[in-house]
Amino acid sequence: EVQLVESGGGLVQPGRSLRLSCAGSGFTFDDYAMHWVRRAPGKGLEWVSGISWNSNNKGYADSVKGRFTISRDNAKNSLYLQMNSLRTEDTAFYYCAKDRVGILTGIDNWGQGTLVTVSS
Amino acid sequence: DIQMTQSPSSLSASVGDRVTITCRASQSISSYLNWYQQRTGKAPKLLIYAASSLQSGVPSRFSGSGSGTDFTLTISSLQPEDFATYYCQQSYSTPFTFGPGTKVDIK
């Protein structure tokens, strides 16, 4: 069974940084691309970033480009999201998600999410 | 960036009803279109990928169709567990944008 467990969320002040982690299990982690998706309170889903199986291809939403960095460590079956210069509008549940294949196509499994609150 | 729209934004339906949700892309995305269901307080769940392929384990009452810019998700006979919000997402090019969602609730 695929399991994706996010960690690292919490309360942070505007302008500060936070690093999210995601531990994957139940599948061969380095065979699949991975994504981060968020949902702000009362709003819909927003794709944040994605990374191919070998880290050669990465993509970002315009709203986070230049502030967020996605990375992965296949030896540790882990996905990361480094979030810098955080803004109040970054407040959301952040979901780690697995792609159907090794390149960026579409998501087939999701974690339960971790809450990031950006507030002074 | 490719913009995704959905209609309606919400609908009320009864158990057993046939429900259709429409998704439109701002440019052609071939068949790179996915549908997700999100129940309150739960993680999203993949229903349909590549516009019309049913994800493993998803009931056959769910179906998808379309290509290019116009797509449809159909629930042939609405069940109590189907009351949720449904999102389309294009995976043609990054950023992989979602539609705004369609909330299906009980009439």
Per-residue pLDDT of chain A (120 residues; tens, 9 = 90+): 999 999 999 999 999 999 999 999 999 999 999 999 999 999 999 999 999 999 999 999 999 999 999 999 999 999 999 999 999 999 999 999 999 998 888 899 999 999 999 999
Query: Among A92-101, A102-111, B44-53, B59-68, whose mean pLDDT is lowest?
Result: A102-111
Percent of chain B with pLDDT over 90: 94
d(CA B66, CA A93): 31
> What is the distance in angstroms between the Cα of B84 and the nearest Cα belonging to chain A?
12
d(CA A106, CA B36): 11
What average pLDDT does range B96-103 have in this prediction? 96
A-chain CB neighbours of B34 within 8 Å are: 106-107
The encoded tokens of residue B39 equal: 């129940």
Judged by DSSP in three states, A30 sits in helix
d(CA A47, CA A110): 12
Interface A-B, measured as beta-carbon pairs within 8 A, has a size of 62
Instruction: Please say whether the beta carbons of A71 and A82 come within 8 A.
Output: yes
Position A66, amino acid: G
What pLDDT is attached to residue A82? Answer: 98
d(CA B51, CA A100): 14
What pLDDT is attached to residue A90? Answer: 98
B43–A110 CB contact, under 8 Å: yes
Place of tokens 């994706």: A4
CA distance readout (Å), B27 to A99, A107, B5, B22: 23, 21, 11, 15
